[in-house]
Chains A and B, each alone.
Chain A
Amino acid sequence: MASIIVDISDLKVSSNPEDTLVTYSLGSCLGATFYDPVQQIGGMIHCMLPLSKIDTAKAEKNPAMFVDTGIPKLLKTMFDLGCRKKDIIVRVAGTARVLDHKGLFKIGERNYTVFRRILWKNEMMIAAEDVGGNISRTLRLEIASGRLTVKSGGIEREL
């Protein structure tokens, strides 16, 4: 079984049932997985920031850095492989925040809000989520089964 690492500001899609997509230490970053059980195709993204207007040149080069450019890119990649919107199971994790009374580091919450807005525009729903709080999370998506686990503080659970 091959682990395919999804780095920070990165997205990966696989149709190989041997593969597991993995992303480590999601802090305020957003980790989303799209899984199509009909085609047995899964995608994972690790977005750092909510909106690409911060740096459009960077977004052009690396759309996965931002939620508003990364999620459409991931969706398109899966559609191009023959996935259909109605089959895709959407799960999301991360978007935590550091202890911050001023609310300056609301990057996580903003990531989540932008994600919801994009799904809403695409008429898609979140099937499961593990978001917020002040913990760091690791995500694993098995392509064969679509099983998704979230690990934080040494405890792994299925999402």
Chain B
Amino acid sequence: MNNYYSGPGASGKEDYLAGILRAIDTFPSMPSFVSSIIDLLHDPNANIQTIAERVKFDPGMTANILKLTNSAQFGAQHRIASLQEAIVRLGLRQLFQLVVSAGISKRMTRPLPGYELRADELLSHSVWAAVASAELCKALHINAHDMLFTAGLLHDLGKLILDDFVQNEKGHLQELVQLNGMTFDTAETEVLGMSHAETGAQVLIQWNFPEALSAAAAWHHHPEYAESHKDIVMIVHIADALAYSEGVGCGIDGMQYELSTEAVNQLGLKKETLEYVASQTLSKMQQLEQILKG
């Protein structure tokens, strides 16, 4: 195995990789309550009534779903007051997105010292990417994939696991980025054996989440390599870059990724579109972030 970095004090890449794989295995699944709702959403025998009954067990979740349904992002035309109505209005795929958002967002509020993200910064970044993904599709007149919002929200999930490892090897990672001109995710793979992108994708595969979500996480820095779901991967890639460009959840790595020329060309993206999307994203994102922080 080609071990690129072997400076003084460097723990072996194999050791790190084994540690990361263990951390993925033991990474807590969604709260059991959330998983039980997700199972119901995949159950062909479940109907709106049974799903609503289950969601109602958790008053916090019920309140969040109503708030999210009525937010500018999910765009209810008139105020929706009951859970049943919200589920009918959203449909099951959208409901899945809201349940996942409400279930995962609290975990993204802790500070990540390895990536130098303060409390709430990973959540801001993730919500920005989710909202900007939806806004990009609107501005480019692309039919949004029905998992797009969640794909944006979960693209950096792997950072929750990799943070300790990045903290441990921060000096080495920064050296590779600054002196050798590597992108941050390439440096992660070189030093730790796995990038935050792959790590997040592994977690999503372990959770049996739709493949579009693990593809978006795995390839969000290199959409040109994605073998499936390329549309959603490219959109999340641009939304992620825009979040960094606007300084949302930048950390030490934010400005150290490369924009994919292929994605830009394929989407026919222009600077006016980008700036318009940025202006539309901020206020919606702030509203959602407040709801998700609870």
Contacts and interface: CB of A to CB of B under 8 A. Distances in A.
A binds B: yes
Interface of A: 8-9, 24-29, 48-51, 54-55, 58, 65, 94, 96-102, 104-108, 134-136, 153-154
A107 B244 contact: no
A49 B245 contact: no
Interface residues of B, number: 35
B279 A27 contact: no
Interface stretch (B72-80, B140-148, B187-195, B253-261): B253-261
Nearest to A46: B247
Nearest to B178: A153
B282 A135 contact: no
A115 to B, nearest CB: 16
A78 to B, nearest CB: 24
A8 B248 contact: yes
Contacts of A55: 276, 279-280
A98 B259 contact: yes
B172 to A, nearest CB: 15
A28 B246 contact: yes
Given A55-B279, A55-B280, A104-B269, A27 B256 contact: no
A98 B275 contact: no
Interface string B257-294: 11101001000011110111011101100000000000
Contact of B256 (A48, A100, A134): A134
Given A101-B261, A107-B275, A8 B246 contact: yes
B271 A99 contact: no
A146 B251 CA distance: 27
A99 B276 contact: no
A97 B254 CA distance: 10
Contacts of B250: 25, 27, 136
29 contacts: A8-B246, A8-B247, A25-B248, A25-B249, A26-B247, A27-B248, A27-B250, A29-B246, A48-B278, A49-B275, A55-B276, A97-B245, A98-B241, A98-B245, A98-B258, A99-B183, A99-B255, A99-B256, A99-B257, A100-B259, A101-B259, A102-B259, A104-B270, A104-B274, A105-B259, A105-B271, A134-B256, A136-B247, A136-B254
Interface of A is mostly: loop
B252 interface: yes
A68 B286 CA distance: 23
A65 B282 contact: yes
A94 B275 CA distance: 17
B275 A27 contact: no
Contacts of B248: 8, 25, 27
Contact of B247 (A29, A65, A105, A154): A29
A50 B242 CA distance: 15
A25 B247 contact: yes
B255 A98 contact: yes
A35 B226 CA distance: 50
A96 B255 contact: yes
Nearest to A105: B245
Contacts of A29: 246-247
Given A29-B246, A105-B241, A99 B259 contact: yes
Given A55-B276, A136-B255, A98 B282 contact: no
Contact of A28 (B245, B257, B276): B245
Contacts of A100: 241, 258-259
B255 A134 contact: yes
A48 B277 CA distance: 12
A143 B272 CA distance: 37
6 smallest CB-CB distances across A and B, nearest first, come from: A27-B247, A136-B250, A25-B247, A134-B255, A100-B259, A25-B250
